[in-house]
Structure 1
Amino acid sequence: MLLAASKVLDRLKPVIGVNTDPERSEGHLCLPVRYTHSFPEALQKFSRGEFRWLWRQRIRLYLEGTGINPVPVDLHEQQLSLNQHSRAFNIERVDDERSEASGPQLLPVRALNEVFIGESLSSRMSYSWAVAVDNLRRSVPTLKGLASYYEISVDDGPWEKQKSSGLNLCTGTGSKAWSFNINRVATQAVEDVLNIAKRQGNLNLPLNRELVEKVTNEYNESLLYSPEEPKILFSIREPIANRVFSSSRQRCFSSKCNQFPTPATSSLLRLLKRFWEEELAREFVMHLISAAEVTNFT
């Protein structure tokens, strides 16, 4: 479904999702499971107009700076070993070093679920910085380190220096996917917090399983929002907070978006990433903009 949606660059083509593996896939973007085994019935309803349109916001992404690889890679088509992965990015790095800083480049895909910005191999001592848009990845030069170091500004607000395992920026559609699992809390954590609050505040609060589950469900449901809403939720994965790096907001909505903005005037999130390699600082600025919707058959 995500791959099919990435091929649609306007809002004139409807996208119909069919769950071909309901035993292993929830299929949030697909028709109800019963239509998997009776798809002709779904086509008949579609031809008779017995459906409603569901508009979904998508993310349009601009990259600016040096070392930008203009060719995205389909992750489902690239399954390399670690050595192959490293060599592949080293080749790109040679080409990138010869290039000068470029103006804003619009990625040729639209993110229906989310954009993830972070290290492509964050658990290794040698890895590459990557931007993943649903199923596509944009890569830049190989780095050394363990975490992502960047400065971030939301809705033209003040810049904040951060270090983390990366950022996830999702639409309302993607709020049910990776973003939800990044931010959701378990009943065990909620129960521990309520016990501390009860003890510290001398509260006569009866803690039972029903209350804990109710609080947990209400919090987790607050992480979801409509696919039609023109805003983006960004989440910071495993932020590092100390004397140097801060993390005032681990997740936040960014809602400054127009229908057809330009990167110079309507960036709702700007990310400045510095690459420290061979005593050379590299940087690029990212612009995230809410763009045209994609339709879904329901």
Structure 2
Amino acid sequence: MGSTCAYRLMNYTVKKNLFNYNKIGFEWWHSHHYSRHYTGFKPKNVVVLTKLTRYEFEKAKAPELSEPELKELLTRRGSDYNTLLYHHNIHKKHEEQVLYELERHQIEAKVVDRFNYKEEDINEADAVITIGGDGTFLLGAVRITKNDKPIIGFNSDPTRSEGYLCLAKKFSSDIGKAFDRLVKGEFRWMYRKRIRITLIGENIYDPPVELHDEQLSKPEYRYIDGLQEQLRNSEPETKEVPQNVRVLPVLGLNEVYIGEKLSARVSYYELSVDNGERVKTKSSGLCLSTGTGSTSWQFNINKLTHQAVANLLVAIKQETGLMIDAQNEELINRITNRFNHSLIFSPELSMMAYTIRDPVSVGTLPKPGEMKPRGFANKVEMKSRCFDAALVIDGGLSFKFNDGTLAIFEMHDDDALKTVVLD
């Protein structure tokens, strides 16, 4: 009973003191008391989702070309053939090491690429392992809709990507140590909370648009490749009697952005936080973030720059007469880092951070009753008054969200993504 009361009190304190630096202690306590795993992890079989390298992609586009011809083609386009091949080999070497460790621990593995990652493979496996970066991890996670199927990511090329969702970088160079610790149980489970989205209104079954990777001359369709079956299963049973309520088959692991497609146009909508009064709002859109995504877009929207803090200190000194050394670089850095670090919260917390981008206010100061530009919430409702808006999940999948459509954003424990933390 005491632990439960402490948990509720600390959770309330975190939500009350928004962006409070002291919440770090709660996150440590939460992760060490509610997610500890004491037994070894040794699945019988796993499905291994491996990255499609740029080299493989180019080879697949022109299978009739020899290596010299492919090199000439890429050179004419301004691409470096040798660099593509170099990083391809790094990825393949990493893939071989992961497969070797699976075999060493007598774990059966089925290797698939993005085009052959099927729901039946996930259902038959005890776990999913991804080899690539955060993009490959997201592709692997999007097909996992419940919290009983663990996913573990290995960053196959840490020199080119951070791989925040994967195991720590040091395990990329010591894969054997990572597997030894997994088998011995020297890790803890992390349940990354995700955002569930319910749409109510007309045209909610219109097909989504894939926001593909513009770095490639041909779209990869990161989400569509793995979601055709899920999208079909979420369609209404009959075309004659369309349903007006739809729970989207995709969960937001990082963030959900809602706003007008044309960024120069103001987004107009009605917003309600935690069943509060619905407030009419104009802005550049709304960003909802999980703890996982709090280090990403949401962080960059709200972070303070070194210059902004320096200017604030000068203004405070002038207005208050306080003896502040506004030119002290160390002080400016400490304040900047303290504030920015407070924007990050645990992926396991069942709450969302919301940010109203560039809120439009008639006067210089917000009116009484206007929505706070950022905060935490357990539930958010948003009714569109937009002309041509989109609801974008994890920067990859865009659904229409036009005038009259209502979106409900919530978090449920059953939707969490089961992952592993070794550090």
TM-score by length of 1: 0.74
Change (3 A) 1:218 1:198: same
Change (3 A) 1:70 1:106: farther
**Contact between 1:66 and 1:100, CA under 8 Å: does it hold in 2?**
no
Q: Give SS of 2:383's match.
A: strand
Matched, 1:231 2:351: yes
Residue 351 of structure 2 aligns to which amino acid in structure 1?
K
The whole-number CA distance in structure 2 between the counterparts of 1:23 and 1:78 is: 21
Task: Give the deviation of 1:22 after TM superposition.
Answer: 1.6
5+ residue gaps, structure 2, are: 1-136, 218-238, 389-401
Per-residue CA distance 1:32-73 (angstroms, 9 max, x = gap):
112223324323332332221112111100011112235344
Per-residue CA distance 1:209-243 (angstroms, 9 max, x = gap):
11111111111111111111111110111222226
Question: Between Structure 1 and Structure 2, which shows a larger proportion of strand residues?
Answer: 1
Aligned length: 244
The corresponding residue for 2:304 is 185
The whole-number CA distance in structure 2 between the counterparts of 1:100 and 1:272 is: 23
Matched, 1:218 2:338: yes
Match of 2:406 among 272, 282, 285: 285
The corresponding residue for 1:108 is 249
The whole-number CA distance in structure 2 between the counterparts of 1:121 and 1:54 is: 37
Q: Give SS of 1:175's match.
A: helix
Task: Give the deviation of 1:79 after TM superposition.
Answer: 8.9
Match of 2:258 among 109, 117, 137: 117
Q: Give SS of 1:190's match.
A: helix
The whole-number CA distance in structure 2 between the counterparts of 1:73 and 1:276 is: 17
The corresponding residue for 2:384 is 273
**Contact between 1:64 and 1:101, CA under 8 Å: does it hold in 2?**
no
Task: Give the deviation of 1:119 after TM superposition.
Answer: 2.5
The whole-number CA distance in structure 1 between the counterparts of 2:329 and 2:215 is: 44
Q: Give SS of 2:162's match.
A: coil
The whole-number CA distance in structure 2 between the counterparts of 1:111 and 1:288 is: 10
Task: Give the deviation of 1:101 after TM superposition.
Answer: 7.8
Match of 2:321 among 202, 213, 218: 202
Match of 1:38 among 149, 174, 184: 174
The whole-number CA distance in structure 2 between the counterparts of 1:205 and 1:78 is: 47
Per-residue CA distance 1:54-104 (angstroms, 9 max, x = gap):
1211110001111223534443379999xxxxxxxxxxxxxxxx9998432
Residue 44 of structure 1 aligns to which amino acid in structure 2?
D
The whole-number CA distance in structure 2 between the counterparts of 1:34 and 1:80 is: 29
CA RMSD of aligned residues (A): 2.7
Residue 337 of structure 2 aligns to which amino acid in structure 1?
N
Higher relative contact order (CA 8 A, sep 6+): 1
The whole-number CA distance in structure 2 between the counterparts of 1:164 and 1:28 is: 30
Q: Give SS of 1:18's match.
A: strand
The corresponding residue for 1:295 is 418
Identity %: 40
The whole-number CA distance in structure 1 between the counterparts of 2:216 and 2:163 is: 28
Q: In terms of mean alpha carbon deviation, does 37-46 or 230-239 score higher?
A: 37-46
The whole-number CA distance in structure 2 between the counterparts of 1:41 and 1:73 is: 41
Per-residue CA distance 1:103-139 (angstroms, 9 max, x = gap):
321010111111111223424xxxxxxxxxxxxxxxx
**Contact between 1:66 and 1:282, CA under 8 Å: does it hold in 2?**
no
Runs of 4+ residues over 4 Å off in structure 1 = 77-81, 98-102
Change (3 A) 1:68 1:78: farther
**Contact between 1:66 and 1:99, CA under 8 Å: does it hold in 2?**
no
**Contact between 2:200 and 2:244, CA under 8 Å: does it hold in 1?**
yes
The corresponding residue for 2:27 is none
Task: Give the deviation of 1:147 after TM superposition.
Answer: 2.0
Match of 2:377 among 236, 249, 254: 254
Match of 2:362 among 242, 257, 270: 242
The whole-number CA distance in structure 2 between the counterparts of 1:269 and 1:234 is: 9
Residue 198 of structure 1 aligns to which amino acid in structure 2?
K
